[in-house]
Amino acid sequence: MGLGLHRLAVGLVFAVVAFLNRLVHQEFLVALQAFGINALGLTGADANAIRSHKRPPVVVDGSSVDYGWVGDVDAADGNMLSRLIEAGITPVMAPLTHDGEGHILNTNADTIASETAKALAAIYDVTLIFSFEKKGVLSNPDDDDSVIPVITRTLYNEYKADGTISGGMLPKIENALNAVDAGVSKVIITLATAIDGK
């Protein structure tokens, strides 16, 4: 495939990803409105809510890995988001940000949640909840009841070193610990059906 066709393919894939993000986002907003929650859907580009930079290529095993249009967050605008909240509007962030140079960047949803929580922690008492398909972080992935009740950075480093925690859970916990370090009161990782914080 020539370079021009490759760029076109990457652009089309990203356009589809952005479209699907928006579609899922709109369905979620409709559901929130049905529960009486006055929600407003935003990407990081809306009102400059979240600014990112394009993740640079890295070398792995001697080969360059280009992440494409993936964004790493530089800053979220907690003041703007708080003005919406004070007006009775619940901002709902899609996992898309921008670089200030006209490019939309695909950004990890856990990172969006963490960075938004960190920005709002300077204004509010914030609890960040990550919801996924398990009851929490498990010490045994085959036992849904083996939830680790509390994870500090020291424990996380131990669990990471001995392989208790691995794979996709690593960035989720990194985001959680970074959020606490930045002033978020606590982070809960639990089932999507248990996001009432209890």
For residue range 60-80, list pLDDT tens digits in order.
888 888 888 999 999 999 999
Q: pTM here?
A: 0.81
**One-letter amino acid identity for 126?**
V
Percent of the chain with pLDDT over 70: 86
pLDDT at res. 22? 59
Give dist(CA 135, CA 108) in Å, integer. 21
Whether the Cβ atoms of residue 77 and residue 48 lie closer than 8 Å to each other? yes
Q: State pLDDT tens for residues 130-183.
A: 888 888 899 998 898 999 999 999 999 999 999 999 888 898 899 899 999 999
